[in-house]
Every structure is written in structure tokens, then in C-alpha cells.
Amino acid sequence: MTVTALPKALYRVEEALEILSISRSCFYREVKAGRIGIVKAGRSTRVTADSIARFVELLENEAGTA
């Protein structure tokens, strides 16, 4: 997945969950492990398109399909 495949720069957590097809608990586990980056704007948590793309690339590399 490339960043150009994602039309927005920032996604709500719910949107990122849908894009990545993972659960909320899995998402926050990956955030805590540093594998998904988040940004805070006040009380809002957002996920950058870059972070989503890097996570997908990381998973592909781990699976050996990149």
C-alpha cells in the first residue's frame, strides 16, 4: 500500500481500524509497541496515512511478501 492510495493525510482511529482490518485492542497494542504511530490534537487521536502505510509495509516484510 502506498500513501498515494490513501486520500487523506489524517484518519480517526475508527477509520484506521477499518483500513487495517484490526480490532481496537490490537491497534492500541501495536501503538504501544511503536509499530503504529499516532498524533494528538488536543483530545483527538489521529493516525497519519504514512503510519498506516508503514505498518502495512512492516506486516508485508514480516510475512516475506514485500
CA end-to-end distance (rounded Å), the chain: 10
Contacts of residue 46, defined as CB under 8 A and 6 or more positions apart, other chains included, come to 10, 11, 12, 13, 38, 39, 40
Residue 7 scores a pLDDT above 90 = no
The boundaries of the domain holding residue 31 are: 3-63
pLDDT tens by residue, 26-53: 999 999 999 999 999 899 999 999 999 9
Tell me the whole-structure pTM to 2 decimals: 0.83
The number of folded domains in the chain is 1
